[in-house]
Amino acid sequence: MKFRKTRRCSITANNLLRFSVGIALVFSALSVAADCQSGKGITSNDVIAVTGEADTLWTLVWEGPRNQFAVNSIIHGGDSVSLNKDNNWLSYTLGCISSDIHDLAYGDGRLVLCFDTLKFGQPNPVLLLTRNGNSINKQDFSLGWPVDSSSLDLTAREVVWVNNAFYFACMDAGLVRWDYKNQTKSVFSPGKSSSVPVNEFPGLESKPDTMLRVIGLERHENDVMVITPARIWRFSTIDSSWDSSISSQLVNSELNFSGFEAVYPEPGKDGLLLSRIRVKKRIAGSWKDTLILAKYSRTQKNWRSILEQTVYDVAFGPGHYFFVLTEKGISAFQDSLADTLVTRSAVINTSVFQNWITRNFAISEPVLTDLHYVGLTDSTGYLLLASTDGTFLARWQYPPAEKVTFYQVKRAPPVRSGLKQTYARPGVLVADMYDQQSRTVFIYNLSRDANVTIRVYDYNMDLVKTIISNKFRRAGNNGGQHGRSTVENEDWWDGRNSSGKMVAPGVYYYRISTDIGERAFGKIVVAK
Amino acid sequence: MERLWWQNKRIYAVTAGIAILALLVTSTGASTVGGSSGAYLRPWAGAAAMATAGANSALPDYLSPWWNPAAMSFHKGRVLSGGVGLRSLGRTDAFGAFEFKVPPRLNLGLMLLYRGDPFLNDLYDENENPLERASYTTFTGKIAFSYYLSRKMSAGLGINIRFQQLPTYIEGSHVGYSSCTDIGALDLAFIYQVSKVWTMAAVLKDVGASMTWTVNLNRGNSAQIEERTYPSLTLASKYQGSFLDKPLFWTMDMKAYLFDGKFKTLERPQAVLSTGFEWRNWEMFFIRAGLGELLINGDLLRDHDNYLSSFPFKITAGFSLDMQRWRNGVRLNYGVSTDKLWAGIDQQIDVQWNF
């Protein structure tokens, strides 16, 4: 899975690695998120990734105002109604995570998240989440590299679940298998059938070959497709053997192969094999770097470019359909399995999808972040599309209908513009046993950009506090957060007056006024 | 020839006195009264008070236990009153009061005021799911006494009984409640009749008012919150003059908050000034109007841009109609007012029966 990170702090792995040499110790448990908490509902619309299987879905979300990540999970009932009910979702806040989450994978009831290397001074911290009835439990650990290995880049870039084990793409170290039932962690170098336990990894003594860096992986049946810069390997999880028979040959004469970046194998034996490849393309007499999506021909043992765009993710549906998430949106293709180019399908069309989303949710240009297909039967399933404005879901069947309709799985409902609908979230502000700094956020949506003032008053309409005064806010359909005008880290009230003193329990009123004449009033109950 | 009211120098003396007091109050900066305990006690009660912008403390015609217990000494007979009010943003009032004489010098008054929001809607939970409709409920009871000291003076005492109920916890879409009760807060009042046409009064309200909440939270947890109401001091005046040869009553209240609930001086005191008129051009029909709750605090002098940007006031009007055709001594009072946010209008209609 290669999801798009939109607003993460950029702490590079290598910098952290060097900075923390000598600090890293072997830990079996880490306190990654000390202030974790779980609850009901979906905690944010800013969905970074979506994963899961037919029984359970997980989304990873970014909670901007609190500067932290959360996961939301649902036991999938197989219908969009259950997905849309907030109470069917469990949420789990990861606490303040200041750096990237690289990848997540779900298998056997467990969700694994791998963080940026050396997060909290530890190499490869990993968070394991399991669903237990109405709660989500967590277990934090690192992969447990020896101290002297920390000068290598051991970033766990990607993770997959195959054959009762999680596999991590760990750069200089290679492929790491974590068998959580036997609590063993082993390192495999591409091409070598032998392995070493992670805590005995020789580090620099292994003289890692940069061309054998494991930069990505993907599951295919009982195999792991492993990506190194110059080659795609097939690692058998049954006998731990490596197959290097997939060539790196490009059939397009105007393209020069630079390196593999990702691989997308279609489920099933001899299925379609796609890859995102970095190439040099000759344009106006000079070679320029570009990315292509290429299809592999097993008979001719070469790759053929099918799409010259930056591809973020690919998901496969039944009937040799596949869905491609690119910088321009989402498209559907169908493959004939012959050595000819794939055909673009009209059932999912980027412009139609954009128009639909704009019309229904006042979201002009959602940033699509991830794509996931959940098969329910051999010919039906769900296509899930994550975006910075919620998750969208389409029921898929083969052969497909003429038109595919997306539904939105989204906590934050659209708010009518022109301040015709405003409210405080939550409307009852009490001290939270987990979060004494509980606060309420003012939800509103302007019809056009304006300067906004928000004030809170008590029962006698005496001014309690000015929340914002003449602050510029965008209309929801003009780039506002979640299709609204609310700026969640500014438009909030914690129940204190202008002197910082907690107000008395009671009903309070707020007024949202603008310099374009739109205004609204609402109520908040405070008892904290 | 009788002097017109604006030709009376004492009027200007009183006005100047109130202004000086106001400036004293305002010398220390912006208000912290907003959001303090007992905000629900500050709106005006009764239609006559609403019509005259809350300038009703000097010598109220009815509802004296609320406004000024000492005023009962100057009423003849008994006064029974009741009314309902609908205010902006769903706030609602309803009251009943009875005042009677216990010869020779004592008067007693009882009143009960409901105030709250019975339709507290548009509340959402943390996940933006709409909650069931809830309500905010308060009851304020007052037992008031007045003692007739002389033909010019009387003193009054009010004992408060207060109840509040708030929605505080959420289970699914259901909202649960917490409540608190307080008995024993005092109101103290004094009236001095300067002349036949001029009455002055001082009312100290909510002395020792304290409410302790046990706030029910989710998962069976609870929290204790104590709130102490800031006592208020009101200086009031009622002057009877004439306009177009018809009686004109000019009333003025200045309500100041100088101390917190523990009687420590407020760091930032504030006052509100209200003034109103009642013109009795017709015997049956009195016209009332006023300008109320003009906020006076330090921002007026020090940060007038901010002060003007949120300058609160209320414009009020109303009438009193004699219903003697129906029953002698009955008057119908109606008041209408803007609110300070311009979110809507407040209205109140009362019936008073003097018998």
Question: What domains, with CATH codes, occur in chain A?
Answer: 250-309 (no CATH), 423-527 (2.60.40.4070)
Q: What does the pLDDT read at residue A26?
A: 26
Looking at domain B2-354, its CATH class is: mainly beta
Tell me if chain A has a CB within 8 Å of the CB of B264: no
| A 367-406 residues with CB < 8 A to B | none
Are B32 and A459 in contact (CB < 8 Å)?
no
**A460 interfacial to chain B (CB closer than 8 Å):** yes
* Predicted confidence (pLDDT) at residue B237 exceeds the cutoff of 70: yes
**Residue of A459, A465, A497 for testing the chain B interface, max B β-carbons within 10 Å:** A459
Nearest one of A1, A480, A499 to A219, comparing CA atoms: A1
pLDDT of residue A291: 92
- Residue-wise over B148-186: b if at least 16 C-beta within 10 A, else e? beeeeebbbebbbebbbbbbbbbeeeebebbbbebeebe
In the predicted structure, residue B102 carries a pLDDT above the cut 70:
yes
Residue with the larger pLDDT of the pair B99 and A334: B99
Give me Rg for the CA atoms of chain B.
Answer: 21
Residues in chain B: 355
Q: Which two tokens stand for residue A425?
A: 């979230």
Mean of pLDDT values over B229-241: 92
- Judged by a CB distance cut-off of 8 A, whether residue A508 touches chain B is yes
| pLDDT at site A10 | 31
Are residues A36 and A93 in contact, defined by beta-carbon separation less than 8 angstroms?
Answer: yes
Element (H, E) at A82: helix A80-84
pLDDT at B70: 95
Distance from CA of A205 to the nearest CA of B (A): 52
pLDDT of residue A11: 31
The pTM of the full predicted model, rounded to 2 decimals, is 0.64
Per-residue pLDDT tens digits for B106-140:
999 999 999 999 988 888 887 777 788 899 999 99
- Please report the pLDDT score of residue A92 as a whole number: 79
Residues of A in contact with B32 (CB under 8 A): 497-499, 501
pLDDT for res B348:
96
Question: Are the beta carbons of A504 and A496 closer than 8 angstroms?
Answer: no
pLDDT score, position B31: 58
Choose among B116, B128, B223: nearest Cβ to A425: B128
B61 min Cα distance to partner chain A (Å): 24
| B56/B21 Cα distance (integer angstroms) | 19
Q: For chain B, say whether A322 makes contact (Cβ under 8 Å).
A: no
Q: Residues 154..173 of B with a Cβ closer than 8 Å to A: which?
A: 164, 166-170, 172
- Position A12 scores a pLDDT of 34
**Residues of B whose CB is below 8 A from A469:** 309
- Asked if pLDDT for residue B95 goes beyond 90, the answer is yes
Question: CB–CB of B128 and A460 under 8 A?
Answer: no
Give the pLDDT score at A79.
64
Q: What is the pLDDT of residue A380?
A: 86
Per-residue confidence (pLDDT) for residue B106, from 0 to 100: 93
Tell me how far apart the alpha carbons of residues A28 and A140 are, in angstroms, rounded to a whole number: 8
pLDDT per residue over B45-80, tens digit each? 999 999 999 999 999 999 999 999 999 999 888 999
Candidates A117, A141, A156; CA nearest to A30 is A141
Helix locations, B255-351, DSSP H: 299-302, 304-309
Q: ipTM, 2 decimals?
A: 0.92
Closest approach of A493 to chain B, Cα-based (Å): 13
**Mean pLDDT score, B152-178:** 88
What whole-number distance in Å separates Cα of residue A518 and Cα of residue A447? Answer: 8
Is the CB of residue A269 less than 8 Å away from at least one CB of chain B? no
Which residues 271-300 of B are in CB contact (within 8 Å) with A?
none
User: A-chain residues within 8 Å CB-CB of B309?
Assistant: 469
> Cβ of B34 and A458 within 8 Å?
yes
Distance CA B261, CA A91 (A): 43
- Measured in angstroms, the CA of A449 and the nearest CA of chain B are apart by 21
pLDDT of residue A150: 57
CA–CA dist A202, B270 (Å, integer): 74
The pLDDT of residue A1: 44
B224 at A interface, C-beta within 8 A: no
Give the per-residue pLDDT at A64: 56
Tens-place pLDDT, residues B247-274: 999 999 999 988 888 888 887 788 889 9
Per the prediction, chain B carries an average pLDDT of 87
Pairing of strands A110-115, A101-107: antiparallel
Residue type, B100: F
Sequence ranges of the domains in chain B: 2-354
The residue among B33, B120, B123 with the most chain A CBs within 10 A of its CB, best to mutate, is B123
Query: Smallest Cβ distance to B168: which of A460, A498, A527?
Result: A527
| Under 8 Å between Cβ of A476 and B3 | no
The candidate with the shortest Cα–Cα distance to A101, out of A144, A136, A58, A135, is A58
pLDDT tens-place values along chain A, 528 residues long: 444 544 333 333 333 333 333 223 222 233 333 344 566 666 677 788 888 877 788 888 876 555 567 777 777 665 666 776 666 778 777 765 555 777 888 888 888 888 765 544 555 667 778 877 777 777 766 777 776 655 778 888 889 999 889 999 988 889 999 987 888 889 999 988 889 998 888 876 666 788 889 999 999 999 999 999 899 999 999 999 999 989 989 888 788 899 999 999 998 887 889 999 999 988 877 888 999 999 998 888 899 998 888 888 999 988 888 988 887 778 888 887 776 667 777 667 666 666 666 666 555 666 788 888 888 888 888 888 888 778 888 888 888 877 777 777 765 666 777 888 899 988 888 876 445 568 899 999 898 899 999 999 999 998 899 999 999 998 877 766 666 888 888 899 999 988 888 899 999 999 999 999 999 999 999 987
Residue numbers in B near A465 (CB within 8 A): 34-35
Contact B341 A501 (CB under 8 A): no
Phi, psi (rounded to 5 degrees) for B23: -65, -35
Quote the minimal CA–CA distance from B37 to chain A in Å.
5
DSSP-derived letter for residue B197 is S
User: How would you classify residue B178: left for phi > 0, otherwise alpha for psi between -120 and 50, otherwise beta?
Assistant: beta
Q: What is the pLDDT of residue A210?
A: 82
Q: Is A439 on the interface with B (CB under 8 A)?
A: no
Strands (E), A302-389: 302-307, 311-316, 321-326, 329-334, 343-345, 368-375, 380-387
> What was the pLDDT predicted at B314?
92
A41 and chain B in contact, CB less than 8 A: yes
Half-sphere CA count of A524, side-chain side, radius 13 A: 35
To which H or E segment does residue A83 belong?
helix A80-84
